[in-house]
A and B are shown apart, each in its own frame.
Chain A
C-alpha cells in the first residue's frame, strides 16, 4: 500500500514539473514584460491543483486502459487473420473519434464563416451549417482513410516515407489549385484531428500490430498512424474547397 501511495505522489510531482514551465512563462511575461499583477491568485491555485491531478490520473489511466485496449485488439485481430475486419475497425476508429472532436467542430464553424464572408457560400445559417457539417464529415472521413491506410501499411510492411512523401507532394500541388481561403484551414485541420484520447489508442494499435505480425518491427513499422491522420485531412479539405 505504501508503495502505491508513494508512486502516486511521485507521479503527482512529475506532473507538476511537466506543467511548471507554462506557469513560469506566463508569470514572467505578466510581471516583468507587461508589468501587471497576477489576477485571481486563488483561481490559479485551484486550477493548478486540478491540472496536476488531472494529468496524473490521465497518465495512470493510459497505462491501465488505452494502451492495453489498443494492443490486445491488435493481437486479437491479427490472430483472427481477417484483414477486412481489421481495416473496417481502423476506419471506424478514425472516423468515429474525429467526427465528434470539439477542436474540429470549432474549426469547421470558423471555416464556414470565412466561406460565407468570402462569398463562396450563401450568407445564411443553413448554408453555413451545411458547409461546416460537410467539412467535418470530410475531415472525419479522411482520418478514417488515414488510419485504414496506415494499418494496411503495417500489415504489408511498406516503408512509411514511401507514402508520406508523395502525400506531402500532393499537399503542395493541391495548394496551388485550392482557393486561398481554405488553405490555412486545411493546413490547420491536419493538426487538430488527433485528440488526446485518440493518440494513445491509435499508437498502441499500431505498435501492437507491428509486434503481433511476424517480420514487422514495432519501432519502424508501429509508429506512423498519427502521421497519416495529420496528412490526409489537408488533402481532403483542400479538395472539399475546390469542389464547392
Chain B
C-alpha cells in the first residue's frame, strides 16, 4: 500500500514538473504556429511513457539505491571509519581518506553511466554524426570525467582548498583544449557538462559532499558541501574534448598509414 502511495505521489510531482513544459509547447503550437500536432497520438503515448518512466525510475531509485548509497556515503566519511584507532591524538591526514576518493570516483562513474539525460544526448549525437560518434564511447568519456571530477572534489573538501582555484584552473584547461579540438565536437563537449548532473548523480553526490564536510573539523557542511556538482559539470567537458582529440589522432594515423600503403 505504501508502495502504491509512493508511486502516486511521485507521479504527481513528475506531472507537476512536466506541466510548465507542456503548457509552453501547447501554447506556442496552437497560438503561434497555429497547426495541429502531427502524429498527435504518438506524441501523447510518448509523453505518457516519459512520465511513467520517470516515475518508476525515481521510485525505484528511492527504494533500491538512495537509502543505501547515502548511508554509505555517511559511513565512509565517518572519522571512526577513517581512523579506527582509539588514539585520538593521531590527526587524520588527507591520504587517510583514500576510500572516499575511490568511492567518489566509482559512484560518479556508475551513476553518470545510468543518467537518462546523458543517454538521450548520446543517442542524438550518434544519430546526427551518422555514427562517427558512438553513443557508448561518449557516455564512457563523460563518466570518466565525472569520476575524476568527484574524486578531486572530495579531495578539495578534505584539504579545504578554495573551490574557485580548481574551477578557474579547469576553465583554463578547457579553453586550451578548445583551441586544439576538432570543431565538430565542441558543442557536444560543452553540453555534456550540463547533462551529467541530474536524477541519479545529484542525490548521491550531495550526500557524499555534505557527509564529508560535516565530518571534517573546520569545514562548514553548508558551504563546503556544495561544489561537487560544479566539479561533475566541468570535468566531463575536458574528458569529451580529450576523447575527440584522441579519436581524431587515431583517425589521422590510420589515414596516413592508408595513404602510405597506397603510395607504395
Q: Does B13 contact A (CB under 8 A)?
A: yes
Q: Does B154 contact A (CB under 8 A)?
A: no
Q: Which of A24, A168, A191 contacts B197 (CB 8 A)?
A: A191
B238 smallest CB distance to A (angstroms): 13
Task: Point out the residues of chain B lying under 8 angstroms from A100, CB to CB.
Answer: 16-17, 19-20
Q: Does B198 contact A (CB under 8 A)?
A: yes
A69 to B25, CA, bound (A): 8
Q: Does A83 contact B (CB under 8 A)?
A: no
Q: What is the chain B residue whose CB lies nearest that of A180?
A: B223
B90 smallest CB distance to A (angstroms): 21
Task: Point out the residues of chain A lying under 8 angstroms from B119, CB to CB.
Answer: 18, 55, 59
A residues at B contact (CB < 8 Å): 18-19, 21-26, 29-30, 33-34, 36, 38-40, 43-69, 72-73, 76-77, 80, 82, 85, 89, 92-93, 96-97, 99-103, 110, 113-114, 117, 159-161, 164-165, 168, 171-172, 175, 180-181, 183-185, 187-188, 190-201, 203-204, 207, 217-227, 229-230
Q: What is the chain B residue whose CB lies nearest that of A76?
A: B33
B139 smallest CB distance to A (angstroms): 9
A112 to B67, CA, bound (A): 26
Flag if A226 contacts B107 (CB, 8 Å): no
Flag if B24 contacts A225 (CB, 8 Å): no
A125 to B216, CA, bound (A): 29
Q: Does B187 contact A (CB under 8 A)?
A: yes
Flag if B65 contacts A39 (CB, 8 Å): no
Interface residues on B, range: 35 or more
**When A114-B222, A195-B17 are in contact, do A58 and B195 touch as well, CB less than 8 Å?**
no
Flag if B53 contacts A222 (CB, 8 Å): no
Q: Which of A61, A201, A217, A230 contacts B233 (CB 8 A)?
A: A230
B154 smallest CB distance to A (angstroms): 14
Task: Point out the residues of chain B lying under 8 angstroms from A26, CB to CB.
Answer: 65, 68-69, 72, 107
